[in-house]
Structures are given as structure tokens and as C-alpha cells.
Structure 1
Amino acid sequence: MSNLARKHEQQSVENYNQSVQVKPQRLSEERRAVITPGEKILVAIFAMVFCFLAVQIVSTQAAVYDVNKEVQQVESTIDKQEKANNDLKLQVSELSTYERILEKAKELGLNLKEKNVKVVEQ
């Protein structure tokens, strides 16, 4: 072979080597864009923590809902009992009037003698 042919062959080999060398650099740049195993672990840990906190929030809200429901039921029971107590107080006040007591005493045969009546103040 002549020198010209060898130079041409060497140049073509060098050009090929340069093109081959450039391609791996591009591949290494592309590999940098891929997520590393450490980043995958961090993302997995973050996802687990996020899911755990989401479950905690939902369970806490469910517990709060149950407590509020119980409080409303107790308040409803208290209101009913207060109404019953007020009705009973009204009945007591109606049944303890002076006129009614006098009427019941006369029905039982008791007579009112003005001399025997003593007034007691509260």
C-alpha cells in the first residue's frame, strides 16, 4: 500500500474511533437522566411516609366523627331529660297550689278552722 492509502485508512479509523467515542459520551449523558437506585429508595420511603400519614389523617377524622356523633346523641338525651324535668316541675307547681290542697282536704272530710291556721313564711 502506498502512504496515501495508509493515511486515508488511518484517517477513516480515527474518524470511526472519534464517532464511537462520541456515542458513549452521549449514552453516559443519557444515563445520568435515569433515576438512580438511591433516588428510587428515597421516592419509595417518601411514598410510604405519605401513605402512612394519609391513613393516620383518615383514621383520626373517623374517630372525630364518631365522637361528635356520640356528643350529639348525649346532647339530645340531655335536652329530652330537661324537657321532662320542666314538665314535672310544672305539674308540681300546679298540684301544690293552695286552692287544690284546700279542695282535696274538703274531699277527705277535713274542715278549715280559722283559729287553728298558722302562717309560716318561707
Structure 2
Amino acid sequence: MRPYNQGNLATNINPKQKPKQKVLQKKRTVIRPGISGGEKLMYFFAVILFVSVLSSVIARYTMISSYNYQIIQAKKDIKKMSESNGELKVQIDALSKPDRIREVAQQMGLTKNDDTVRVVKDNRTSN
């Protein structure tokens, strides 16, 4: 509908436009509390370095522990071998007695013939 403009004071036919005012806004620098990107990157690399050093130290300790277990096992094996060698030496001494050798030879039917046995004495001195 068209406004009735001949006698109506309620309508403004030619509204006056208000000139727009330019509002000058100052740039505000906002300082946010927190950590900057460079600091975050530095902390990240520091954590990576710390984790890598820590993992290498732990790896070394596990290797050392493994070597210690192997050393302990080797010592146990050496002890068993030395005990076994002692038992074998006792058996060698028991089996190499001249009386036993004569007895076994007689059981097998061998006889002693002193004419064929020659004893050679060595005059060399051992240092």
C-alpha cells in the first residue's frame, strides 16, 4: 500500500539519511597467556630426546643383565665340569693301578714274560 502523504504527519516521505560516521577502531594486540609455537616445538624435541636417551639406557641395562645371567650359567657349568673331571680322575687312578691291570690280564689269559720287557731309563733332567 502506498502511504497517504497528503495530510498524514505520521509518515516521512523523504527521510533524511544520516551520514555514516566512520568509526576508527584501534588495533588491539591481544597477548594470550600460554606457550608459543616455537616453545612447543622445542619442548617436543626435548621430550623426544629424553625418551630416546632413556630407552637406550634401558636397552643397555637389559643387555648387561642378560650378560650377567650368561656369566652365572657359565660359572655353574664350569663348576659341574670340574666336579666331573675330578670324578673321572679318581676313576682313572682306580683303573690304572698295576695290580688291577695284572688281574684283568690274567683273566683274559695273558701271561707275564720278563724276557721281552725292556725298561729304558732316561738320564735327562727336566726343569
TM range (shorter): 0.5 to 0.7
Distance 1:35 1:74 in 2: 56
2:98 is matched with which residue? 98
- Segments ≥4 residues shifted beyond 4 Å: 113-117
Q: Under a length normalisation based on structure 1, what TM-score does the superposition of the two structures give?
A: 0.59
1:81 is matched with which residue? 81
Distance 2:115 2:61 in 1: 74
Offset of residue 49 of structure 1: 0.6
- For structure 1, the 5+ residue unaligned runs are 1-23
Higher helix share: 1
Offset of residue 60 of structure 1: 1.7
Counterpart code for 1:76: K
Deviations 1:21-54 (A, max 9, x none): xxx9xx86x85xx433222221121111101111
Q: Secondary structure at the match of 1:89?
A: helix
2:119 is matched with which residue? 119
1:38 and 2:32 are equivalent in the alignment:
no
- For structure 2, the 5+ residue unaligned runs are 1-27, 123-127
Distance 1:79 1:66 in 2: 20
Distance 1:121 1:105 in 2: 25
Counterpart code for 2:41: I
Question: What's the C-alpha RMSD, in Å, of the aligned pairs?
Answer: 2.8
Q: Secondary structure at the match of 2:119?
A: coil
Count of aligned positions: 94
Offset of residue 67 of structure 1: 2.1
Offset of residue 114 of structure 1: 4.8
Over 3 Å counting, the alpha-carbon distance change for 1:72 and 1:111 in structure 2 is same
1:50 is matched with which residue? 50
Structure possessing the higher radius of gyration over alpha carbons: 2
